[in-house]
């Protein structure tokens, strides 16, 4: 069983977040095989290229351990060109933070990027941070997911904490939304997964804001044995295998 952390943030010397090597040490301690890596908030806001370059370089150095994401502020007129550059470079997932990038996820700000991605034959997962602000409610993500039924969306943090009660009803109306566990707390997440389906649940530690080893130890303790392979890596692997 390959164990994958779906939510990790790393930074370079200009950011407060820990380095790639620090994440690798935490992964080794927790016996995590691979991690999806994203840049700090500043790189979501406007340092898009430098953040994406840093993430790609880390993944190029350790392709066996890191799964790279790419982001762009969708207000940019060249948003698709930026995303396409990093898809071509090997990004495996798109990631957006509505509260940092200043857009309502239920609006049409992402439509141009997603339409062009589909038009060019790409079908990679789209991770959206949800949970704390009025622009990032799971119900808003559902409206986007309904418009783009051919794409799979990852509900970052499962709406925690402000919209955690939305997870189950949103999943009941959108089969292409996959809740991710960081900040949702393992016990609460497992209880919800029993209702929305373990085949859609994704494990994320939220490193470095959560302690990676503790999050995985708790999830392994609480998850029914028959669902551990799927939640701890199998579901995410399946999503990524669907892309071109």
Q: What is the pLDDT of residues 61-99, one digit of tens each?
A: 999 999 999 999 999 999 999 999 999 999 999 999 999
pLDDT band for 135, please (50, 70, 90 cuts): confident
What would the CATH number be for the domain defined by 4-241?
A: 3.20.20.140
- Residue 55 Cα distances to 91, 177, 196, angstroms: 9, 25, 32
Q: What tens digit of pLDDT does each residue of 49-60 get? A: 999 999 999 999
pLDDT of residue 161: 85
**Cα 19 to the chain's mean position, in Å?**
19
Residue with tokens 């991605």: 117
pLDDT, residue 31, reads: 98
Contacts of 208 (CB under 8 A, 6+ apart): 8, 9, 17, 18, 22, 23
pLDDT in tens, 215-236: 999 999 999 999 999 999 999 9
Residue 113: name the closest of 152, 84, 155 by CA: 84
- Among 105-109, 134-138, 171-175, the minimum mean pLDDT is found in 134-138
What span, in angstroms and rounded, lies between the C-alpha atoms of 9 and 19? 9
- The string of pLDDT tens digits covering residues 198-220 is 999 999 999 999 999 999 999 99
What is the model's pLDDT at position 147? 97
């Amino acid at each position: 069983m390959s164990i994958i952390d779906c939510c990790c943030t790393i930074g370079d010397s200009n950011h407060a977040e820990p380095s790639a090597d620090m994440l690798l040490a935490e992964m080794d301690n927790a016996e995590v095989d691979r991690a999806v890596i994203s840049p700090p908030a500043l790189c979501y806001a406007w340092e898009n290229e430098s953040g994406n370059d840093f993430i790609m370089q880390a993944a190029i150095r350790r392709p066996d351990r890191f799964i790279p994401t790419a982001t762009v502020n969708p207000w940019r007129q060249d948003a698709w060109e930026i995303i396409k550059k990093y898809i071509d470079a090997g990004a495996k997932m798109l990631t957006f933070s509505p509260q940092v990038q200043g857009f309502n996820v239920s609006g049409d700000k992402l439509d141009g990027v997603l339409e062009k991605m589909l038009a060019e034959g790409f079908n990679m997962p789209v991770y959206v941070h949800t949970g704390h602000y009025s622009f990032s409610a799971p119900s808003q993500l559902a409206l986007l997911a309904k418009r783009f039924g051919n794409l799979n969306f990852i509900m970052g943090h499962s709406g925690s904490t402000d919209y955690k009660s939305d997870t189950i009803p949103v999943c009941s109306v959108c089969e292409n939304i996959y809740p991710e566990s960081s900040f949702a707390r393992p016990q609460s997440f497992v209880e919800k997964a029993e209702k929305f389906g373990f085949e859609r649940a994704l494990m994320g530690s939220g490193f470095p804001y959560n302690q990676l080893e503790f999050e995985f130890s708790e999830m392994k303790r609480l998850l029914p044995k028959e669902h551990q392979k799927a939640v701890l890596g199998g579901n995410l692997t399946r999503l990524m295998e669907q892309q071109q």
